[in-house]
Structures are given as C-alpha cells and as structure tokens.
Amino acid sequence: MGESKSDVLQGTLDLMVLKTLEAMGPLHGYGIARRIEQVSANGLSLNQGTIYPALLRLQQRRWIKAAWGTSETGRRAKFYSLSKIGQKQVTEETENWERIAATMARFLAPSN
C-alpha cells in the first residue's frame, strides 16, 4: 500500500520523529512536523499529514506514548513522548541508520 516514495521514507520518518521527541521532549503532531521541516531546512518536500501514520506505527509498537494536553497558547492538543522501549529503540535505530548511511556512502563514493 502507498507509493514507493513514502515507503522509502517510512523508516527514515520514524527515526526523525523519535529523534525529535528525544531532543524536544513531549511534543504535539504539529510541533513534530515543524521541527522536522526546520531541521531538514525544508530539504524534504513532506506533507505534514504523513507524520500521523508514522506516529500511529510508533504507538502500535509502544515506542511512543500519547496524551491530550494543552499547548503553550492554551489550545488542546495531543502530546507525544518517548516510552521506555522507545528510548532504547532510538539508540538502536540510530546505529542501524548510521550503518546503512555509511554503506550507502561507500557505494556513492567515486570509485577510484
């Protein structure tokens, strides 16, 4: 299901969400989306809506928790935070990603 573009992004997006929550603490969906946009310096043309399926997947794996709360401007919003399992997973996933990135880098390096 879904287009191939988002499939490639799926694992990446999950890790971005995890890293965001690790760095920022509890945050609502909009905040997470903004943060990812800012960090990537708008290098990704990502619809903000795509983070919701990612949030759902992470919740289903119990890596993150969600609870309704109030934003700094006093608006009701759902806040996400890392769970215990999630905290461990961030490290693991980061290592994973670095390994893949390093491998990819070797492939992409000019072969001289």
Partner 1 sequence: MDWMRTMISRCAALFRRRKLDDDLDAELSSHIELAVEDNLKRGMPEQEARTAALRAFGGVTQTRERYRVERGIPAVETLMRDTRYALRQLKRNPGFALTVIVTLALAVGANTAIFSIVNALMLKSLPYAHPERMGTIFQRTQGAESATGRNDIDGEQWELLRDNVPSLLAAVSSDGANGVNLQAGQNVQYVHAGRVSEHYFDVLGIRPGLGRSFSADEDRPSGPKAAILSYGLWHSTFRSDPNLVGQAIRLKGEPYTVIGVLPSDAVTPFNADLYTALKPSRKGEGAGTNFEAITRLRDGATWQQADAELNRAWASWEAWVAARNPGDRISFYSVPLQKGATAELRPKALSLMLAAGFILLIACANLAGLTLVRTARRTPEIATRLALGASQGQIQKQFWIENSLLAAVGGLAGVAVGLLTLRGLLSLLPEDYLPVASVPLDGRVLAFTLAASILSSLIFGMAPALTVRRIDLRSSMATRSVAGGHGLRLRQWLIAIEVALTVILLASSGLLIRTLVHLETLPPGFEPAGVVTAKASLDDARYHDPAAFRKLMDESVAAMQRIPGVESAAVGLNLPYERALNSPVSVRDGKEAGRESNADAIYVTPGYFNTLRIPLVAGRGFTASDTTTTQKVCVVNRAFAHKFFHGENPIGHTLNRGQTIVGMAGDVPLSPGLDNNAPLDSEATMYVPTTQVDAQLLTLVHMWFQPSWIVRTAAPVNGLTGQMQRALASADPALPFSGFYSMSDLQAKTLANQRIEVALLGAMAGLALLLSAVGIFSLVANLVAQRTREIGIRIALGSSIREAMFHIGAPGVRASALGLVAGQVLCLGVLRAMRSVLYGVGVYDAPTMLAAVTTLALVTLVATTLPVLRIARIDPASTLRDE
Shortest Å distance, C-beta 31 to partner 1:
8
Residue 21 has, within 13 A of its CA and on its CB side, a CA count of 29
Residue 2 interacts with partner 1 (CB under 8 A)? yes
Instruction: Report in angstroms the alpha-carbon separations of 72 from 52, 56, 75, 77, 78.
Output: 21, 24, 7, 10, 13
Instruction: Kindly identify the residues of this chain, within the stretch 48-87, that bind partner 1 according to CB under 8 A.
Output: 48-50, 52-53, 56-57, 59-62, 71, 73, 75-78
Q: Contact residues for partner 1 (CB under 8 A)?
A: 1-2, 28-31, 33-34, 47-50, 52-53, 56-57, 59-62, 71, 73, 75-78
